[in-house]
Chain A
C-alpha cells in the first residue's frame, strides 16, 4: 500500500444538527468518506448544501452531532477544542474565501504566524521563502490593506503551505476574486499541492474548479449524492 492509499481523513456516519427556534435542523446527514494522503478532493454543492459545515468538521473546527471523523490518525470527535487546535497547528493549513489575514500584520508576519505557533526553526527564512514562492517578494512588509485581493490570497496560500501541513482545506478560495486572478490562484494552489504532495480538500460550487481535483463529492441539503473519482 503506497502513501496515497493511506486514509488521511476518514469520516463515518458524520452528521450535524443544530437547534433552531422551529426545531432541530439537519445540516449534514450520515456522511462517509475517506481521503488519502496527497489526494485532492472537491466538495461541491449549492449554497446551504452543507459543504462548509463538512469542511469545518473534517478540519476539526467544529464537532459532529454524531458519527466519527479522524485526521492524521486523530479522532477529532473525541478531542476537546485545545486538542483539536493542536491537530490543526501540526497538520492543517487553511485558505479562505475572505483570506482572513490579520489586518495590521504585514504579509511576512501573517505567514510567520503559524510557523511561530508551531515553533518551527528558521521561521522567518521559511516565511520569506514562501512569499517569494507565491510571487510576493517585494510585498513582504505590506499590510493586507495595501495588497490587492489576489495578493492577499497569495499571502494566505503561503501561510497555509508554510507549515508543511498534511492537508490544506480551501473554502471557496476564489470566491472573492475576478476570473483572471482566480485562475492564477487556482494554478498556484494546485501546483503547490502537487509539489508538496499535500492533501487538498477544496470546497466550491464551481464545477470547472472541482474538475481539477482527483475526487469530487456532491452534497445536496446535507446528504452526499455521490462521489466521483
Chain B
C-alpha cells in the first residue's frame, strides 16, 4: 500500500509536471463544462417555460369542477406541503347598470388570486399590472362590458340581488382561455359578495376551480393525492387542455435543448476518449519501464485509476463552475442583448447532474484506455516497435452503452436516445465504408500531384489507420454541427412561419348572416383591418354509413367530444388546406354533398374516403360523402374545423360567422365601436396568449442561438484534441523532412494539402449523414423539413476551412520548433 501511495503521488506529480494530463483535463473541463452549461441553460429555460405556461393558467395546477370543491380540506393539504392555493367560482349571469343589461362571465375570487401571473388593469395611469383584486363590495369589469353597459367607474352595477360598485377596469386576466365562459365579457368580484347575489342555486351552471402553486415536486405530490379522489364532474386542467398552442413550441424547444445536450454529450465523449487515448499512448513507455522494474498490473491500475479519479474529480468540479458561469453569462447576454429574461438555473440539481455526468464520462470513455495500459508488455523496453495493446472492442461498446444509460436516465428521451443510437451506428458503418473508399481514391489521385503537395496526400494514403481515425472523428464532429444547423434552421422556419407578427389576436363570433356585410363594411372603413370570415353551422354527427354513432363504440380518446356535442362545421367553395387523402374541390362542386374531414377525426372514427356522414342540425339532417382528409395544425392560432362541407350542402341551415383579425394595442378602442354597433357580437381576445407565444418563441430562438454557440465550442474542443493527438507524429515528420532539406514553404504546402483533403472529405461525409439524421429527428419533433441543395457544396468547403484553420494553428508551432528538438524527443 505504501509503495502504491508513493507511486501514485510521484506519478501524479510527474504527469502534472509533464503536462500529460493537461489535454485530458481540459477536455473534461470543457466537455463536461459545456454539458453542464447546457443543463443549466435547459433548467433555466424549463423554469421560464413553466413560469410562462403557469402564468397563462394563473396557477401551476388546477382542478375544474361543476360541483362544489372541498376547498377547505384541499387547501389544508396544500398548505401542509408548503403550497399556496385558492378557489375561484365562475358563472354566467346578467349584469345591469341603469337601464342596460348584458350577459357577463362572472368570476368570484379572493385576495390570493391569481397564484401565477398578474391581473392587468386600466386607470388614469394607463394599462398596468397589479397584485390586488376587487375588495368586498366592488367589481372590476372588462372594457367592452363597460362600453356595452354604458357604465363608468364609480357607478353601481347589479349582479342578481347584490349592488356593487364598479371600481376598476379589468384588461386582462392571466388565465383567459377560449372556454365557453370566456366568450362573454368578464366581471371580477370578491368571493365574499357571492352569497349576496343570490344567483347561484341548485341548478346553476357554475364552474369551481381549485388553483395550486408552489414547488414542482410538492405540486406533483398533491396532484397524485387528489387525482384518485376526483369525481367524474371534476377534471384536472393543465396547459395541454387549456393552451394546446403553447404545448408544442415548449415541447419542441425542450426536445431541442435535449438534442443539443446530446450532441454536446457525444462531442464531450469524443474529446475525452481522444485525449485519453493520446495520454495512454504517451504512457505506454513509462508503463513498460515500471512493469519491467516489477510494478504489478494491480499497482499500475491503482496508479492510473487514482490519477484519473483525482483529475476527473478536480476537472468535474471546475467544469461545474465553468458551466454555471457560462450559463449565467449567456443568460445575462440574452437579457441585455435580446431582452429575453430567463430565471437563474436550479443550482443544486443541475450541479449534481453535471458532476455525475463528468465522472461517468471519464469512467466510460477515459478509464478503458488507461485500464488497457496494464496490458503493456514489459518487453517494450527491449523492443520498442512492439505495438501498444489495442483496446478491446467490448470496452468501446461498454462505453457507448454506459453513455446512453446516462442519457436515458438524465434526459428521459427514449425516442431521441434511440435515434442518436441509430445515428451513431449508421455513422460507424457508413464512415467505415465511405472513408476507406475515399482514402483509396485520394491515394490514387494524389500520385499525380507535384511533390510538396503530394507529400500530404501520400501521408493520408499511407498512414491509413491514423487518417481513417482523423477522418472518422472529424466527420462525426462536423455531422453533429451540420445536423444541429439543419434542425435549427427547421425550427426557426417552423416557428417564424407559425406566428407572424400580424397573426390574428382577436376573434369575433356570433356574426349573423344578415350582419356579415355590415361587419365587413365596419372593418373596411378601418384600413388596417382585413379580417377573414368563416361560416359556421352547428350540427351533431349521428350516422356513419347508415350506422348510428354511439358513445359505446368510442368510449375513450377525443371521440366522445365529437359525437356527444354539436360540432362547428364550416363550408367553402374551395379548399386551401393540406390534404393527406383525396382531392380538393372547387366552385364546380358547389352543389355536391361533399365533406372534408380533419385527419385526426378521420383516424379516431375510422373514416375513409367515400364514407357517408350524416349530421343533425336542429330538426334537419343532411348527409355528405368524404371527398378528402385534411391536415390541420391545431397548435396554430387559426380557426380550425373538424368538418368542412361544400356550400350547397348546408347553405340553407342556420349559420353564424366567425371573423379573425390582427389589432394592434393602439387600436383596441375599435373593439368598443364594434360592440356598440353590433351588441350581439362577442370578441375573443387572444392577444395575451399570442404575446406569450411570441415571448416564448423569442426566448426559444435566443436559446437556439446560445446552443449553437455551445455546440460550436464543443466541436472546436474536439478538433483541437484531434490535432493535438497528431501533433507529435507530424512534428517528427516535419523535423525529419527539414533535416533532409525541405523548406518551411514546402512543408507548409504538404500539410495544407493534407488538411484540405481531410477537411473536404469530412465535410462531404458529414453533410450526407447529417441530412439523413435530420430527416429522422424532423419526424420525431414534427418539424417541417427544408431541403437546401447548396449545403452539399458549402458543407465540404466549411469542413475544409475549419480543418485548415485548426491545422494552421498547430502547423505554425511545428514549423517554428527546431528539428533537432523534435528528433531528440522522439529518440
Contacts and interface: CB of A to CB of B under 8 A. Distances in A.
Interface string B507-538: 00000000000000000000000000000000
B738 interface: no
Contact of A61 (B286, B299, B381): B381
A116 B294 contact: no
Contacts of B286: 102
B381 A116 contact: no
Interface string A12-50: 000000000000000000000000000000000000000
B293 A113 contact: yes
Contact of A117 (B15, B17, B294, B377): B294
B10 interface: yes
A52 B384 CA distance: 12
Count class of interface residues, chain A: 20 to 34
A226 interface: no
B11 to A, nearest CB: 9
Interface stretch (A70-78, A89-97, A189-197, A212-220): A89-97
A186 to B, nearest CB: 20
Nearest to A172: B382
Interface string B371-412: 000000111011110000000000000000000000000000
Contacts of A94: 292-293, 381
Contacts of B14: 102, 104-105, 109
A82 B293 CA distance: 12
A61 B291 CA distance: 9
Interface residues of B, number: 29
Best-surrounded residue of A81, A104, A109 (most CB of chain B within 10 A):
A104
Contact of A102 (B6, B289, B294, B384): B289
B623 to A, nearest CB: 82
B2 interface: yes
Contact of B3 (A61, A85, A117): A117
B10 A88 contact: no
B502 interface: no
A135 interface: no
A105 B18 CA distance: 10
A96 B382 contact: yes
Nearest to B384: A98
A225 interface: no
B296 interface: yes
A100 B381 contact: yes
A89 B382 contact: no
Nearest to B15: A104
A55 B294 contact: no
A223 interface: no
Nearest to B300: A85
A70 B289 CA distance: 22
B17 A104 contact: yes
B296 A82 contact: yes
A86 B379 contact: no
A124 to B, nearest CB: 10
Best-surrounded residue of B285, B381, B384 (most CB of chain A within 10 A):
B381
B295 to A, nearest CB: 6
A85 B294 contact: yes
Contacts of A52: 382-383
Interface string B285-310: 11001111111111100000000000
B382 A171 contact: yes
B59 interface: no
B381 A81 contact: no
8 contacts: A56-B379, A61-B378, A81-B297, A89-B295, A94-B293, A101-B289, A102-B286, A117-B299
